[in-house]
Chains A and B, each alone.
With several copies, the nearest count.
Chain A
Amino acid sequence: MSGAVTAASDCRSVRALHRVTLKDRKAIGSAYHVLTFESAEPIVASAGQFAMVRSETWGSAPLLPRPMSLLSAGKDPSILIKVVGEGTRRMAASAPGEPYQLLAPLGKSWSKIPAATRPVFVAGGVGVAPLLLLAEELASAGGPKPLVLYGGRTAHDLPLLDQLRAVSDVRIATEDGSAGTKGRVTVLLSAALDEVGVHNQLAKVYTCGPHAMMAAVAAMCEGRVPCEVSVETPMGCGYGVCLGCPVPKVSGGFLYACTEGPCLDATVIDWGHRKAGA
């Protein structure tokens, strides 16, 4: 609740409730969709920031808006969703013209990449969204080209791969071997960390994906290279008033994902903490 340790930058623009319209929905495979909205006022945001997303058609159920990383900002903000429950199911069924509200931009973005450092991104599933935007930001700012390690269960769980390839060096791992290396993405990370070690490079890891993946990535980085994660927790409000999004700290107490995160230094987080329902 107080000014806590975060790795995130302080880039900030005014948060607002944007009434937008769904312009386009593109299905990717069976479970993923990119939703692109039309916003009267541009949303000014940096990679890693998110929006609380809700369709005006929901009425009183589903009740709460859903936190979604921004895949792009501006006048046509977009998100990448994976269908996991009622809210995402409805988003995946919505048609152009549907009125939505986006409360954005929210949260802390990824921190700046330190000079002369090789950025290594580790993405799992929809976790690719804030990392693709970061890679695009780097590309347009003439920054270093990141190495992206991208994992999924199958070749169908690697949404936006082509866009990612346009702005980064991508290596792939799938659990069933249907694309890239067979196995988990952490296998790729192990090799990548060895490489940078061999070349005596500075590196920094940015990761977003399933909790277990991020915990494994954080463990592998610990003591070797800095690692920043974008955490996912249930959220009530997205702007710091419900206190529903705590992330346990190693030092005790909590950080709040919506205001102090979602992008956080991995070493600050108590990864051993059991999640309810998990």
Chain B
Amino acid sequence: MSVDLAVDVGSLRLKNPVLTASGTFGYALEYDDFFDVSVLGGICTKGLSILPRAGNNPDRIAETSAGMLNAIGLANVGVEAFCTEKLPNLRARGVTVIANIFATTVPDFVALAERLDREEGVAAVELNVSCPNVDKGGIEFGVDPVAAGRVTAAVRKATKLPVWVKMSPEAGDLKGVGIACQEAGADALTAINTIRGLSIDVRTWRPRIFNKTGGLSGPAIKPIALRMVWELSRAVKIPVIGIGGIATAEDAIEMMLAGATAVQVGTASFVDPLASKKVLDGLGAYCAERNIAARDLIGRFIQT
């Protein structure tokens, strides 16, 4: 493809705007049978914590109309195992790695960022301040501009890596949170994380997932994500990366028109492990057909 798909997320140039969303793509090594993941703009790792986490009890997932609920509980190998066991392989494959990190305190966020700062092959850190599925921490940071700004500023100081902050759709003042993160030195905002939902089995009167509530993802939330990305991208100067229900190239284009500089494919990878590659191929074809660069789509939604 001679079409120019590169986009700049702040100082970070991505070869194309198609990334994969944290928690929906493992550590990317799981895709060796399916396709060469280094063709993607980048991959976001499963959320990493300082210590390994086993995650929530089953059941962790349940399907809803055009969506799914999950309460995985941030099961992950821990940042140390990630750096020693996963990252070298990713580096060898030439994958652009965004490390999604999760903690319940500001010092722990800082420790995670410092640990990753020492490694080669991490392109950016993404702060998950918006996970709805853990008892403590996570979302409290993401719904409050002051707290979000505080954690962002602390991480900003602790690392040379670009800092992305992942927005919670449950913030009453989403723009305020975004602006606070921008002012605290975030390089980009990613939006959105899942939206808390509930599902009850009418035969047993019990919740379908052990954690009771879970995060809603998939096509069902796309219009909401799109609206939030549009609002956010008009409120801040830093790039916004769009996430939520993206399953096709058209979905990615819609998200970029709304103001996203890049996109992340999430739940769609469960439906088809090749989904992210297909989104990329389709985006390339769309741009080629119209003879435009991918960056020409960003925020070009006609609003008059």
- Residues of chain A within 8 A of B62, CB atoms compared: 234, 277
Please give the distance in Å from B193's CB to the nearest CB on chain A: 15
A234-B61, A276-B208, A278-B206 known; A241+B55 contact, CB < 8 A: no
Counting residue pairs across A and B whose Cβ atoms lie within 8 Å, the total is 122
Say yes or no: B271 contacts A63, CB within 8 Å.
Answer: yes
Q: Mark B17-56, 1 if CB is under 8 A from A, else 0.
A: 0000001111000100110000000000010000010110
- Whether A241 pairs with B208 at a CB distance below 8 angstroms is no
Given contacts A236-B61, A246-B58, whether A64 and B270 have CB atoms under 8 Å apart is yes
B63 touches A62 (CB 8 A): yes
With a cutoff of 8 Å between Cβ atoms, the chain A residues found around residue B274 in the complex are: 17
Instruction: Please tell me if the beta carbons of B34 and A17 are within 8 angstroms of each other in the complex.
Output: yes
B197 at the interface (CB under 8 A from A): no
Q: How many residues of B contact A (CB 8 A)?
A: 45
Q: Which segment, of A32-40, A70-78, A158-166, A248-256, faces chain B?
A: A248-256
Q: Are B63 and A16 in contact, with the CB atoms below 8 A? A: no
Instruction: Give the shortest distance, in Å, between A246 (CB) and chain B (any CB).
Output: 5
Does B12 reach chain A (CB closer than 8 Å)? Answer: no
The B interface is mostly helix, strand or loop, or mixed, namely: loop
B59's nearest neighbour on chain A, judged by CB, is A276
Known A-B contacts A63-B67, A63-B267, A246-B55; the reply to A239 vs B61 at CB < 8 A is no
B2 beta carbon closer than 8 Å to chain A: no
Give the interface size bracket for A toward B: 35 or more
In the bound complex, how far is the Cα of B267 from the Cα of A66, in angstroms? Answer: 15
Verify if B137 is at the interface (C-beta below 8 Å from A). Answer: no
A64 to B24, CA, bound (A): 13
Q: Which residues of A contact B (CB under 8 A)?
A: 1-2, 14-17, 54, 60-65, 101, 103, 233-237, 239-248, 252-254, 273, 275-278
Q: Which 6 A-B pairs have the closest CB atoms?
A: A241-B26, A244-B61, A276-B210, A237-B270, A60-B219, A277-B201
